[in-house]
């Protein structure tokens, strides 16, 4: 079959690899002149920055793509397991190294906060158990196919329903588990991994720390863009064709089938189409004449991000690859975002790849990826808001690190909700499509297939199972399995 993929984001590339491995001809259409979508890179003033996602977990999903194509992943893509998942800082001088092994992390929590190691380790065991019982269903299978729910695994998961904390918020689970405000805050931040609010997101999302502490945090040799580069080159070796600087203008359909695309000034026929474009714009821009799933498209957006890319003329040995400087009132911070605003005391994340890839910064310097969670774009007056956030971030970091960070800036670049939308077609600049602020959110994400067209599919962070690199890769896996299953059914029909 001849298949078109709209968008060369990481889910689009992964879909291309999987569908090509099934023997199909695959062409990827991309509006930009580079692959990767959010997972891209740029250089400025002697510094190299990964533009988007900075956390790498579940590397087996990348390795799997190489093996699927008959290649050894180590020949093309290498990574290391980090000793420390993240370094945490509070304004009162408290610091904590979150080691990426439960027993070491537990010992550190007991040393710094006086919380028994066994309590932390027990929480992470429970997180792993939740994932094993139900997380695999929610993340690795289509929630919109009957077969997902009519098997022994689903029945076993259903028998443990109270175990998943579906009727408590993440914050409530953390409060009753730890009874220590700083440790509660530390684990509350995992709601931001899918653009949600820990005071609203269901306790089921306490499976997220499992990926960091039980599986591990990893760093690709050369930086995060190596994920994009290695998979893009793999797909090319397989024979996938790319059409860069060729935005798709319309998906062409007749009755219940998609017949092709209108792109590059002409209509082109395809047997099936996979959209890696934000599902909102897939419908609103590419399928204006089709039935619109308004209930899904109206779901609350996830958070966005304000990212400063700073070249710093100094090195900071107390910082690591991942660093968090917490706000003093986390609830107020999320309350502000719910109102479309940003607190004057935001939590600040700093990623420094030059710690492990020295060539990313000039000698004696560091490249800082400085991110603040912000609401999606709903028409806020961003210029003065950005200036205020920048001043508050500089003030916070300078006070905590004991040096004027503003005076050390050598280069500066910026990514904010409006530019996120313009560069990646993410509706309103929302990083993860839709939030997960209620227990039904997983079911209200768009399926990986169309209910109207029997040969249209969806992948990427705005559809099931969600945003972030691992889930985007899983969306490609789910979609390719659905596609293969449907083709097997068609092929087995009697003539």
- Give the model confidence (pLDDT) of 160-218 as tens digits: 766 778 889 999 999 999 999 999 999 999 999 999 999 999 999 999 999 999 999 99
Tell me whether strands 47-50 and 348-351 are parallel, antiparallel or unpaired: unpaired
How many helical (H) and strand (E) elements, i.e. helices and strands, does the chain have?
17, 19
pLDDT at 491: 43
pLDDT tens digits, 346-367: 999 999 999 999 999 999 999 9
pTM: 0.95
- Regarding beta strands 322-325 and 84-89, do their DSSP bridges make them parallel or antiparallel, or are they unpaired? parallel
* Other C-beta atoms lying within 10 Å of the C-beta of residue 317: 6
Token pair of 423 as six digits: 């560069």
In this predicted structure, the answer to whether residue 494 has a pLDDT above a threshold of 50 is: no
Q: Cβ(284)–Cβ(334) under 8 Å?
A: no
| Dist. CA 84–CA 213, nearest whole Å | 10
Spell out the SS3 assignment of 102-170: HHHHHHHHHHHHCCCHHHHHHHHHHHHHHHHHHHHHHHHCCCCCHHHCCCHHHHHHHCCHHHHCCCCEH
126-160 pLDDT, tens per residue?
Answer: 999 999 888 777 888 888 888 887 888 777 777 67
**Longest distance between any two alpha carbons in the chain, whole Å:** 77
């Amino acid at each position: 079959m001849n298949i078109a993929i709209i968008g060369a984001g990481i889910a689009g590339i992964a879909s291309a690899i999987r569908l090509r491995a099934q023997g199909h001809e695959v062409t990827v259409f991309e509006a930009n002149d580079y692959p990767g979508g959010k997972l891209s890179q740029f250089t400025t003033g002697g510094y190299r920055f990964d533009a988007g996602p900075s956390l790498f977990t579940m590397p087996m999903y990348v390795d799997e793509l190489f093996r699927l194509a008959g290649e050894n992943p180590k020949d093309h893509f290498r990574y290391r397991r980090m000793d420390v998942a993240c370094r945490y800082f509070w304004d009162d001088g408290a610091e904590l190294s979150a080691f990426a092994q439960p027993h070491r992390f537990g010992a550190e929590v007991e040393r710094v906060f006086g919380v028994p190691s066994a309590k932390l380790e027990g929480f992470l065991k429970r997180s792993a158990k939740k994932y094993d019982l139900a997380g695999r269903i929610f993340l690795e299978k289509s929630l919109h196919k009957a077969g997902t729910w009519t098997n022994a695994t689903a029945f076993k998961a259903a028998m443990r329903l109270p175990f998943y904390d579906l009727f408590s918020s993440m914050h409530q689970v953390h409060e009753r588990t730890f009874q220590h405000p700083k440790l509660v805050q530390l684990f509350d931040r995992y709601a931001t991994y899918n653009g949600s609010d820990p005071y609203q997101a269901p306790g089921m999302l306490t499976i997220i720390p499992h990926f960091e502490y039980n599986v591990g945090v990893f760093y690709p040799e050369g930086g995060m863009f190596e994920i994009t580069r290695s998979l893009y080159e793999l797909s090319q070796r397989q024979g996938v064709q790319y059409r860069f600087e060729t935005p798709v203008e319309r998906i062409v359909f007749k009755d219940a089938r998609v017949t092709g695309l209108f792109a590059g000034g002409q209509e082109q026929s395809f047997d099936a189409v996979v959209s890696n474009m934000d599902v909102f714009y897939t419908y609103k821009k590419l399928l204006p004449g089709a039935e619109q799933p308004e209930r899904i498209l109206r779901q609350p957006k996830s958070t966005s991000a304000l990212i400063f890319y700073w070249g710093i003329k100094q090195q900071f040995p107390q910082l690591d690859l991942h660093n968090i400087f917490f706000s003093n009132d986390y609830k107020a911070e999320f309350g502000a975002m719910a109102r479309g605003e940003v607190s004057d005391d935001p939590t600040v994340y700093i990623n420094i790849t030059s710690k492990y890839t020295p060539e990313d910064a000039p000698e004696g310097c560091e490249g800082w990826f400085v991110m603040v969670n912000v609401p999606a774009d709903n028409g806020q007056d961003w210029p003065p808001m950005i200036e205020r956030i920048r001043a508050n971030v500089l003030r916070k970091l300078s006070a905590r690190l004991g040096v004027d960070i503003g005076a050390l800036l050598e280069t500066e670049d910026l990514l904010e909700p409006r530019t996120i939308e313009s560069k990646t077609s993410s509706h309103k600049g929302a990083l993860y499509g839709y939030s997960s602020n209620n227990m039904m959110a997983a079911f209200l994400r768009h399926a990986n297939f169309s209910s109207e067209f029997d040969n249209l599919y969806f992948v990427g962070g705005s559809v099931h199972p969600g945003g972030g690199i691992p889930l985007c890769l899983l969306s490609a896996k789910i979609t390719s399995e659905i596609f293969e299953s449907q083709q097997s059914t068609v092929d087995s029909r009697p003539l």
